[in-house]
């Protein structure tokens, strides 16, 4: 490995494994939301890579929107405080909404985000996360679409960061300080 990613000690999912799973999820969403014109919401920043690939694997009409939420800062543990730094650009009342996340970890982020969306009374609200880490769940959040269930390791790459770094790795790897 090159020096800049020397702390990434193991590849958990290769680029190819990710793409296969993303295609499967896209096909499933396309079947489930045929004729519903879903509004697919990217939870920035971590979900950006997954979101871009997932939407291109969907074969139905859909719309895009973005929100920016953050709780980790520069740490490997959640601060517990969720900062909403960019809201959605539209009202979601009556829309079929699919929230796209990179990872469901403690559930702190989605526990804070979901009530803010539900109050607008969307027609439906589903969550799609590429990764989930069941061992660390603190809030009961359930996923309608889940890519991979992973052990309690700190992962980076494919949008996921440590202190802002490693998001541009094309694979998902384990970060070891
Ligand atoms: C990450 C990730 C999820 C959240 C999951 O976001 O993108 O939104 O943590 O962890 P949780 O279930 O314990 O809340 P982060 O706060 O690191 O911001 P980022 O997406 O900008 O990296």
Tell me the mean pLDDT in the region 106-112.
96
Cis before 45? omega within 30: yes
For the whole model, what pTM was predicted? 0.95
- Report the separation in Å between the CA atom of 27 and the middle of ligand 1, taken as the mean of its atom positions: 25
Asked if the model's pLDDT at residue 1 lies above 60, the reply is: no
Q: Is 128 helix (H, G, I), strand (E, B) or coil?
A: strand
Share of the chain above pLDDT 90, in %: 90
**Catalytic site includes residue 152:** no
Residue nearest to atom 3 of ligand 1 (CA): 103
Query: How many of the other CB atoms lie within 10 Å of CB of 11?
Result: 15
Contacts for 52 with CB less than 8 Å, ≥ 6 apart: none
Rounded average pLDDT over 126-144: 96
158 lines ligand 1 (CB under 6 A): no
Contacts of 29 (CB under 8 A, 6+ apart): 38, 54, 58, 60, 98, 128, 145
Residues 39-93: tens digit of each pLDDT? 999 999 999 999 999 999 999 999 999 999 998 877 777 888 999 999 999 999 9
């Amino acid at each position: 490995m090159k020096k800049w990613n020397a702390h990434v000690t193991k590849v958990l999912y290769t680029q190819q494994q990710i793409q296969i799973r993303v295609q499967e999820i896209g096909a499933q969403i396309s079947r489930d939301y045929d004729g519903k014109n879903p509004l697919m919401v990217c939870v920035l920043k971590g979900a950006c890579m997954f979101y871009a690939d997932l939407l291109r694997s969907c074969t139905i009409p859909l719309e895009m929107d973005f929100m920016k939420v953050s709780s980790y800062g520069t740490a490997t543990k959640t601060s517990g405080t969720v900062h909403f730094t960019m809201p959605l650009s539209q009202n979601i009342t009556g829309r079929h909404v699919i929230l796209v996340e990179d990872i469901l970890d403690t559930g702190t982020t989605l526990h804070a985000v979901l009530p803010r969306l539900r109050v607008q009374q969307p027609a439906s609200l589903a969550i799609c996360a590429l990764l989930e880490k069941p061992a660390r769940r603190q809030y009961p959040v359930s996923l309608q679409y889940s890519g991979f269930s992973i052990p309690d390791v700190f992962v980076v790459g494919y949008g996921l960061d440590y202190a802002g770094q490693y998001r541009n790795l094309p694979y998902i790897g384990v970060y070891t300080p």
